[in-house]
């Protein structure tokens, strides 16, 4: 396996008396699909929040491409190529689908106020590039016919696709997907499975996902970390995780 893109070591997150994340360690390689699973309240989302700049970890290190990034803001993490989706799609619901994709790039590129006010050539070029990239992702996600609709009016499955497009339009190195299959119908889940495979192979992004849909997780993940009560209880390839009695007891057994 190639060198780690993301290396997490000794990660802890404490909320008062609760150690929600307790000494978690794992690597994600470039182009890898890595899943974190575990029962409700295991600490999965808290790990995501620590990796994407929403929480400053209580302890531990997070290295991206060999550089320490623990505690940086979500905005800086996005500039470094780490972006995420949320359990419930967080979009600018009153902006159009296209505008959502443009805003994502503006926040990312930071062409600056002055060039924008003066409409300098560099600003116009950035605007044009942003439109081209947005159009490409609208096509790729089959959302072009909704381009001028407010995002909040899209069907839920389309909103989830738009949220992933909004991440991808910033050309991330690592995409964090928080329960991407939640609320999707079986056909949409099949589409998601294909989409994740394509994002990795065609766009070279590594994917870290939290997911409760075991069929999806087992079908798309290279490796899986299982958490329970904040701790890591198993890590390995899907076949090994499925056959691990500790995992079956803690997680699969409660289905």
Ligand X SMILES: Nc1ncnc2c1ncn2[C@@H]1O[C@H](COP(=O)(O)OP(=O)(O)OP(=O)(O)O)[C@@H](O)[C@H]1O
**Residue 15 found at the interface with ligand X (CB under 6 A):** yes
The span from the first CA to the last CA of the chain, in angstroms, equals: 33
Shortest distance in whole angstroms from residue 186 CB to ligand X: 21
Burial class from Cβ neighbours inside 10 Å (0-12, 13-18, 19+) for residue 229 reads: middle
Query: What is the size of the binding site for ligand X (CB under 6 A)?
Result: 11
Comparing CB distances to ligand X, the nearer of 32 and 228 is: 228
Q: Which of 4, 5, 20, 247 binds ligand X (CB under 6 A)?
A: 20
Contact stretch for ligand X (CB under 6 A) within 35-43, 118-126, 130-138, 144-152:
35-43
Helix ranges, the chain (H): 44-51, 74-79, 97-109, 113-118, 121-140, 156-168, 186-203, 214-220, 238-242, 245-250
Is 58 in contact with 8 (CB distance < 8 Å)? no
Q: Which of 7, 22, 28, 43 binds ligand X (CB under 6 A)?
A: 43
Shortest distance in whole angstroms from residue 38 CB to ligand X: 5
Comparing CB distances to ligand X, the nearer of 32 and 178 is: 178
Residues 112-141 that bind ligand X (CB under 6 A): none
**Residue 53 found at the interface with ligand X (CB under 6 A):** no
Contact stretch for ligand X (CB under 6 A) within 42-50, 56-64, 100-108, 143-151:
42-50
Comparing CB distances to ligand X, the nearer of 46 and 85 is: 46
Shortest distance in whole angstroms from residue 55 CB to ligand X: 8
Q: Which of 14, 41, 136, 252 binds ligand X (CB under 6 A)?
A: 41
Separation between Cα atoms, residue 151 and residue 131, nearest integer Å:
17
**Residue 57 found at the interface with ligand X (CB under 6 A):** no
Residues 213-252 that bind ligand X (CB under 6 A): none
SS3 labels along 193-248: HHHHHHHHHHHCCEEEEECCCHHHHHHHCCEEEEEECCEEEEEECHHHHHCCHHHH
**In which region does residue 65 sit, left (phi positive, over 0), alpha (psi from -120 to 50) or beta (all else)?**
left
Q: Which residues does 193 contact at the CB level (< 8 Å), separation at least 6?
A: 216, 219, 220
- Applying CB under 6 A, the residues found at the interface with ligand X are 15, 18, 20, 38, 40-46
């Amino acid at each position: 396996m190639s060198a780690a893109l993301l290396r997490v070591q000794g990660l802890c997150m404490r909320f008062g008396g609760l150690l929600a994340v307790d000494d978690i360690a794992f690597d994600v390689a470039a182009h890898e699909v890595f899943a974190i699973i575990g029962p409700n309240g295991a600490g999965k989302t808290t790990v995501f929040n620590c990796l994407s700049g929403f929480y400053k970890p209580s302890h531990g290190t997070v290295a991206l491409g060999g550089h320490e990034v623990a505690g940086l803001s979500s905005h800086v993490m996005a500039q470094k190529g780490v972006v995420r989706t949320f359990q419930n799609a967080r979009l600018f619901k009153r902006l159009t689908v296209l505008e959502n994709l443009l805003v994502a790039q503006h926040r990312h590129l930071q062409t600056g106020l002055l060039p924008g006010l003066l409409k300098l050539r560099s600003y116009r070029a950035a605007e044009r590039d942003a439109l081209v990239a947005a159009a490409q992702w609208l096509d790729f996600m089959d959302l072009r016919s909704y381009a001028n609709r407010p995002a909040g009016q899209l069907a839920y499955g389309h909103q989830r696709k738009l949220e992933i497009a909004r991440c991808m339009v910033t050309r991330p190195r690592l995409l964090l997907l928080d329960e991407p299959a939640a609320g999707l119908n079986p056909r949409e889940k099949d589409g998601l499975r294909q989409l994740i495979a394509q994002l990795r192979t065609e766009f070279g992004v590594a994917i870290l996902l939290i997911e409760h849909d075991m069929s999806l997780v087992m079908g798309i993940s290279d490796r899986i970390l299982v958490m329970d009560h904040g701790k890591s209880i198993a890590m390995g390839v899907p076949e090994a995780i499925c056959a691990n009695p500790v995992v079956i007891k803690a997680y699969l057994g409660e289905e």
